[in-house]
Amino acid sequence: MEMEMEMEMPDQIVDTTNGSILQHGKLNDRIYLMKLSDKETEHIIHEMEHLAALNDYSKIFCIVPPDVYPLFMSDRYLLEGYIPGFYRGESDGLFVSKFRGNGERFHVPDNELAPFHQLLSDMKGKPKAPPVNTPRYMLRELNKQDAKGIAHLYSEVFESYPFPIHDPGYIVKMMNEDVRYFGAFKGDELAALSSAEVDPKERNAEMTDFATSPRHAGNNLSLHLLSHMESAMKQQGICTLYTIARLLSLPMNKTFLRSGFTYSGTLRNNTQISGRIESMNLFYKQL
């Protein structure tokens, strides 16, 4: 479809020689240290700074364990959020960032933050709300035969995205790398979907890539998919669930709060999604 042709090239994912994984590129205008190897903490800090200077990136964003945080803090990284029990249910994951340039990327307008803070206040003390049955929809885990349908729905919903989820080949690749996709169907039509990016070694999973066709909006399908994925993660022995949700998407934030997730920080101007770089909220849940 036309939208697929217009999408910008995704940022590059790089495996370092010592086992760290990072993503960088102009689409998100950042470096994202997705996984830190304990063999190269000081080295990777210097390498990321060099790469950021070379490409004039405005943000470096990292997930690190607490024992190496002092090294990042001494290099002017700020703690933006955290996930308790991120590593095997035993050690926290710290989300730290370094803002470069004139500091414009650090600023988040009050009119973007205020509605979310009001939602937090409104939801405080409210009990978890289990999803009501949706007899018109069938939920199941998706497989490689569904890859084209998955990519088509993502292309329909998202103008841009930090990863090439509009590409069926990428979807199949992710399925081979511990990413599990789940869908809600009405008849043969894929109405909504989501994914769980599972780290079996660290026993955590990111609940992500939620998308609902506009034709099926208003049926709480994301809430149902989240509940379905949570059950699947329990069966797999996962300890900690987390998500990185768009600050501006109040319905998605409300979905996680209703499902018993806890808010634990905001990543400022972090992710290219739906045509612009947006701030993202962290939520977590212990199983």
- Domain parsing of the chain, residue ranges: 2-101, 110-286
Q: Which residue would you say has higher pLDDT here, 140 or 134?
A: 140
2-101 and 110-286 agree in CATH topology: yes
Asked whether residue 148 carries a pLDDT value surpassing 90, the answer given is yes
CATH of domain 2-101: 3.40.630.30
pTM over the 0.95 mark = no
DSSP letters for 90-143: TEEEEEEEEE-TTSGGG---HHHHHHHHHHHHHHTTPPP-PPPP-TT-EEEE--
Query: CA triplet 99, 102, 108: central angle to 5 degrees?
Result: 65
Closest CA to 281 of 203, 23, 256: 256
Closest CA to 180 of 246, 230, 245: 230
Domain 110-286 in CATH 3.40.630.30: yes
- DSSP class of residue 42 equals H
Q: How do residues 113-136 score in pLDDT, each as one tens digit?
A: 999 999 999 998 887 766 666 678
**What proportion of the chain, given as a percentage, has pLDDT over 70?**
95
Q: How do residues 11-69 score in pLDDT, each as one tens digit?
A: 888 888 788 999 999 999 999 999 999 888 989 999 999 999 999 999 999 999 999 99
**What proportion of the chain, given as a percentage, has pLDDT over 90?**
79
Q: How do residues 157-207 score in pLDDT, each as one tens digit?
A: 987 777 788 899 999 999 999 999 999 999 999 999 999 999 999 999 999
Residue 4, pLDDT score: 36
